[in-house]
């Protein structure tokens, strides 16, 4: 089982240090520290384990170090920045592991970009040695790139000529959409094994600055100082500790403090039940900060995040996720109101951004997602986003026979109208009602209204509203039908339907990753007996099927 929970004392691949308002995150990959046997992580190449630590470090810098306004990402090794994803690891991994590895790595890069864009915590790549493939993609995720000008250091994306695959963590899209590299120059660059160095790399916008070895440290420090001067991060605030995440696994049951997961291997489903808050929100931001990692919205973000990653990586035959909720809708609405009122406070801002990133992880997960809104549910505001993220939602009209719980209700809050935008830059309501701003505006006026099943169906907030007579059969048929379809076809269908409307750099990265990279990773030219990945490093030339498809 791959474990996503870690902390700095357990890191094998990264060195994190803080100097006032500047943090340094130095890559020092342990060659023998791969997730499994069969490859060595030479030249600061990485596997999923390296990225799990990086993701943890990025999270801790946001929550535990509010004083940090600039993060310098560099290498702790001499004359190498990062050689990218480990080729032997890729060549010997299953197809699903390769794609999930690329997806998690992309999400980690997105979290770095999110910190620069929304947390005023600017990431600066200090490229102090050759920077290839996924190593350059790591630099691309940073807001700024400074490269040492020593005659040997280059940046490169050599996947096409060397491996017959694409840069798996968004390199092509970041070149065009983020760095604004001209298409013809990008074409040449991406087919050049040795990469580009020096002033040409600056002129082509591949990096921001070069500096000779004698002036290199000063150039990086100057950029960090400018980032600090422009940041609103609170220099005098105390961070909160991201205490170890508590989780128990007992057979097919997984338990956290805010949710539980029940796996049914026969139907290939995972039922995720989220428990709403049981106490009123803290009175003010001081009280929120005093609660720290025990603050309910933060606990929810961390635990749901871990559950998603665990299921996605370790339970790849569980193809349908069923979201349920329980709890007091009024308490949840109060928590949403408190977050909305205090969203400019650094910690509340980080909690909201964490919830946003976790909900995005739901969107881009290659699983069928259904939401079931029943008596006792708590699909209000933040938790309603789970139903809006679902491929379908079913809401019971009325009550189950013999059940004395009141009929199911759902309600909108301010958190449904902006804070949790998707990878396409739209809220889930805007994505649901594309080019229908009037409907979204009308729904915004209905915040706080408790809507029953037929009202919610009429408002377009749920897919179906069966009564108790039809409920069991409709739910059973939906789940059985999903299990009978091809998982590949469902993945393609869902990814196409979830992100309507405008494209952003982020949506392009995930849509292209789900389609083109997924396809290329299965082609003989990449993974066949004489394909580029198995032949890499063998001294033998790859044999390609020359037919275009």
| pLDDT tens profile 491-501 | 889 988 998 89
68: Cα within 13 Å, side-chain hemisphere: 27
Structure tokens at 517: 């990279």
91: Cα within 13 Å, side-chain hemisphere: 21
Residue 485: pLDDT band with limits 50, 70, 90: very high
pLDDT value at position 514? 67
Tell me the average pLDDT across 371-396. Answer: 98
DSSP string, 276-300: PPSSPPPSSHHHHHHHGGGSHHHHH
Q: Give the integer Cα–Cα distance in Å for 211 and 214.
A: 8
Chain-centre distance of CA 491, in angstroms?
A: 17
77-87 pLDDT, tens per residue?
Answer: 999 999 999 99
Residue 264 has pLDDT above 80, yes or no: yes
Q: Residue 347: which of 56, 8, 62 has the closest Cα?
A: 62
- List domains and CATH numbers for the chain: 8-228 (3.90.226.10), 248-497 (3.90.226.10)
Under 8 Å CB-to-CB from 120, ≥6 apart: which residues?
A: 69, 230, 231, 232, 233
Q: Residue 68: which of 9, 126, 123, 128 has the closest Cα?
A: 123
pLDDT value at position 511? 78
pLDDT value at position 97? 93
| Helix, strand counts (H, E) of the chain | 23, 19
31-62 pLDDT, tens per residue?
Answer: 999 999 999 999 999 999 999 999 999 999 99
Q: Find out whether 416 and 459 touch, Cβ atoms under 8 Å.
A: no
Give the rounded percent of residues in the chain with a pLDDT score beyond 90. Answer: 92
SS3 for 466?
Answer: coil
Residue 279: pLDDT band with limits 50, 70, 90: very high
Q: Which range among 76-85, 189-198, 505-514 shows the weakest confidence by mean pLDDT? A: 505-514
Structure tokens at 411: 């309600």
Mean pLDDT of the chain: 96
Q: Which range among 185-199, 298-312, 337-351, 515-529 shows the weakest confidence by mean pLDDT? A: 515-529
Residue with tokens 């039908």: 481
DSSP string, 394-428: EE-BS--TT--SPPP-EE--GGGTTTT--TTSS-H
Q: Find out whether 357 and 114 touch, Cβ atoms under 8 Å.
A: yes
Structure tokens at 296: 């309910």
pLDDT value at position 341? 97
Residue 407 has pLDDT above 90, yes or no: yes
Burial letters 184-220, b for 16+ CB under 10 A, else e:
ebbeebbeeeebbbeeebbebbbbbbbbeeeebeebb
H-run or E-run covering 46: strand 45-46
Burial letters 522-539, b for 16+ CB under 10 A, else e:
ebebbbbeebbbbbbeee
Q: How many CB atoms lie under 10 A from the CB of residue 267?
A: 17
Tell me the average pLDDT across 231-253. Answer: 96
CA-CA distances (angstroms) from residue 108 to 137, 240, 330, 382?
Answer: 11, 21, 34, 23
SS3 for 334?
Answer: helix
Give the rounded percent of residues in the chain with a pLDDT score beyond 70. Answer: 100
CA-CA distances (angstroms) from residue 93 to 72, 98, 522?
Answer: 31, 6, 12
pLDDT value at position 442? 98
Residue 431: pLDDT band with limits 50, 70, 90: very high
Residue 517 has pLDDT above 80, yes or no: no
Residue 512: pLDDT band with limits 50, 70, 90: confident
Q: Residue 351: which of 404, 304, 312 has the closest Cα?
A: 304
Residue 510: pLDDT band with limits 50, 70, 90: confident
């Amino acid at each position: 089982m791959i474990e996503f929970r870690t902390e700095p004392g357990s890191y094998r691949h990264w060195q994190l240090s803080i100097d006032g308002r500047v943090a340094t995150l130095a890559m020092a990959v342990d060659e023998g520290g791969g997730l499994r046997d069969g490859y060595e992580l030479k030249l600061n190449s990485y596997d999923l384990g390296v990225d799990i630590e990086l993701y943890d470090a990025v999270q801790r810098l946001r929550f535990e170090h509010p004083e940090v306004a600039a993060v310098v990402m560099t290498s702790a090794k001499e004359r190498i920045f990062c050689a990218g994803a480990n080729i032997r690891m890729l060549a010997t991994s299953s197809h699903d592991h390769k794609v999930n590895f690329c997806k998690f790595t992309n999400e980690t890069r997105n979290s770095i970009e999110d910190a620069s864009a929304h947390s005023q915590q600017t990431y600066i790549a200090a490229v102090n040695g050759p920077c290839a493939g996924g190593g350059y993609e790591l630099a691309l995720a940073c807001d700024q790139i400074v490269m040492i000008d020593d005659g040997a250091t280059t940046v490169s994306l050599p996947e096409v000529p060397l491996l017959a695959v694409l840069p798996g963590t968004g390199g092509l899209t970041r070149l065009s959409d983020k760095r604004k590299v001209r298409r013809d120059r990008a074409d040449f660059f991406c087919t050049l094994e040795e990469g580009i160095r020096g002033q040409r790399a600056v002129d082509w916008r591949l990096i921001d600055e070069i500096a000779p070895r004698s002036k290199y440290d000063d150039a990086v420090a100057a950029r960090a100082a400018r980032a600090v001067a422009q940041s609103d991060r609170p220099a005098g605030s105390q961070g909160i500790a991201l205490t170890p995440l508590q989780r128990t696994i007992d057979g097919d049951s997984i338990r956290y403090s805010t949710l539980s997961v029940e796996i049914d291997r026969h139907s290939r489903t995972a039922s995720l039940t989220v428990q709403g808050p049981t106490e009123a929100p803290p009175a003010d931001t001081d009280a929120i900060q005093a609660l720290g990692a025990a603050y309910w919205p933060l606990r929810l973000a961390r635990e749901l995040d871990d559950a998603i990653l665990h299921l996605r990586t370790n339970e790849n035959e569980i193809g349908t996720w069923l979201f349920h909720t329980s709890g007091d809708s009024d308490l949840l609405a109060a928590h949403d109101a408190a977050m909305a009122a205090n969203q400019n406070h650094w910690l509340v801002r980080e909690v909201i951004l964490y919830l946003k990133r976790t909900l995005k992880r739901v969107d881009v997960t290659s699983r069928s997602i259904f939401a079931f809104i029943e008596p006792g549910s708590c699909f209000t505001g933040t938790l309603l986003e789970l139903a809006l993220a679902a491929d379908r939602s079913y809401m019971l009209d009325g009550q189950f026979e013999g059940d004395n719980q009141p009929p199911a209700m759902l309600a909108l809050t301010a958190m449904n109208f902006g804070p949790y935008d998707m990878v396409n830059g739209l809220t889930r309501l805007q994505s649901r009602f594309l080019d229908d701003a009037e409907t979204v505006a009308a729904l915004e006026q209905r915040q706080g209204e408790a809507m029953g099943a037929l009202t919610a169906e009429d408002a377009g907030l749920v897919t179906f509203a069966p009564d108790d007579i039809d409920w069991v059969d409709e739910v059973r048929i939906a789940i059985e039908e999903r299990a009978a379809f091809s998982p590949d076809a469902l993945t393609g269908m869902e990814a196409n339907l979830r992100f309507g409307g405008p494209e952003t750099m982020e949506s392009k990265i995930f849509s292209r990753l789900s389609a083109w990279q997924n396809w290329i990773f299965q082609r003989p030219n990449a993974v066949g007996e004489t394909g580029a990945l198995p032949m890499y490093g063998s001294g033998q030339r790859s044999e390609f099927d020359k037919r275009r498809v």
